[in-house]
Amino acid sequence: MTRYWIYLFRDDVVKDYYHRPEKIVELLREYQKAPFKSVCHKQVEFITERISFSRVELGIKEHFSGQVERNLERNMLMFKHDQTNEEALVIVQKRRLLLISDCYDLTNRIFQSLAMISSAFLAIDSEFSHYQWLKAELENRKFA
């Protein structure tokens, strides 16, 4: 089972650190494991944006082709792959999302849907060893 932390960053942070995401990942790794979380917490709050459940839900419904169920009590979205019946779960927290999935294709489709909402999402695996900015495929991108 693969787990990803997905953070939404402020535009100025993305502009300055887009080509150096390892610096951001290093801070987030310290934040997860540091004994002095209050200092790291303030830094993480400064560089990230709050994530609205409704914004994520509306964006996912607009861009994700497949079954999506929601649990408002727990701020969760459950995804189901149409052909394989594989499932994935996204938990929306204040400043990050937690994606849990076993299906690579479903994970990729969720990443694509989130990238359509904003290009400022950074996905990091739970071990902090792999990370990437979420990018929308150009042919699916909608310009307003």
pLDDT tens digit sequence for 63-120: 888 889 999 889 999 998 888 889 999 999 999 999 999 999 999 999 999 999 999 9
Each residue of 105-121: pLDDT tens digit? 999 999 999 999 999 99
Across the range 123-136, mean pLDDT stands at 94
Which domain covers residue 58, as residue numbers? 2-136
Residue 132 within any structural domain of the chain: yes
Cα–Cα distance measured from residue 96 to residue 103, given in angstroms and rounded to the nearest whole number: 21
Q: How confident is the model at residue 1 (pLDDT cuts 50, 70, 90)?
A: confident
Residue 63 within any structural domain of the chain: yes
* Percentage above 90 pLDDT, the chain: 72
pLDDT over threshold 60, residue 141: no
Contact 78, 89 (CB under 8 A): yes
Pair of tokens at residue 57? 């839900």
- pLDDT for position 39: 84
Domain tally, the chain:
1
Quick one: 60 exposed, middle or buried, by C-beta within 10 A (0-12, 13-18, 19+)?
Answer: buried
Residue 74 within any structural domain of the chain: yes
Give Cβ neighbours of residue 129 (< 8 Å, ≥ 6 apart).
Answer: none
